[in-house]
Amino acid sequence: MSQTINPNDAEEIALELATEDCYGLYEIEWALNSAFPGSSNEQRVAAASTAISSLLNQGQIEIFERIGAENEFRRVESERFYAASVLPESWTPSQDITLAIGATEAGNRRYFQRKNLNRAQVPTPRAAWPSSSR
């Protein structure tokens, strides 16, 4: 019997990762696998896709594209996620182009307020990035 994934939990996991750094779509699925070990791959991908869609619609995250193995990221339009999310290869690691998520300022505020943390107390790589580089 497969374990059910609560959509709110999936959204929180995705947002938490997005506040730390840019995480590939496959890494969101992996995090859900750790949190819900009895779930199927299909359940995790569906939950991750739903969570990312919800966070995008709320303006909590942005979509980035990682090019090559250098971990160079550039922001891309949300439509790239919607088109790619239905492709199985979008949810597996790649040495070429990988879509990733990163938190917006609104997403950072939401996450740290819910965790009752001051962002200055918990430095993250993305917090130090100038907004023009996202």
What are the pLDDT digits (tens) for 13-62?
999 999 999 999 999 999 999 999 999 999 999 999 999 999 999 999 99
101 within some domain = yes
Strands 97-103 vs 23-24: parallel, antiparallel or unpaired: antiparallel
131 within some domain = no
Q: Is the full-model pTM beyond 0.85?
A: no
> Please, what's the b/e burial string for 112-133 (b: 16 or more CB within 10 A of its CB; e: otherwise)?
beeeeeeeeeeeeebeeeeeee
129 within some domain = no
DSSP state of 59: T
Helices (H), ranges, 7-128: 7-20, 25-35, 41-57, 78-84, 105-114
| Total domains present in the chain | 1
Residue 125: pLDDT above 90? Answer: no
Q: What is the CATH number of the domain that holds 21?
A: 1.10.10
57 within some domain = yes
Please report, as a single letter, which amino acid is at residue 134: R
Question: Which pLDDT belongs to residue 61?
Answer: 97
How confident is residue 124, by pLDDT bands cut at 50, 70 and 90? very low
99 within some domain = yes
How confident is residue 119, by pLDDT bands cut at 50, 70 and 90? low
Q: In what order do the strands lie in the sheet with 97-103?
A: 23-24, 97-103, 61-67, 72-76
Asked if 24 and 9 touch (Cβ cutoff 8 Å), the reply is: no
Give tens-digit pLDDT for 62-76.
Answer: 999 987 767 788 999
124 within some domain = no
Residue 77: pLDDT above 50? Answer: yes
User: Which tokens hold the place of 104?
Assistant: 């917006």
130 within some domain = no
Asked if 48 and 29 touch (Cβ cutoff 8 Å), the reply is: yes
Question: Which pLDDT belongs to residue 26?
Answer: 94
Parent domain of 97? 7-119
88 within some domain = yes
Which carries the bigger pLDDT value, residue 127 or residue 91? 91
Asked if 32 and 50 touch (Cβ cutoff 8 Å), the reply is: no
Mean local confidence (pLDDT), 111-131: 58
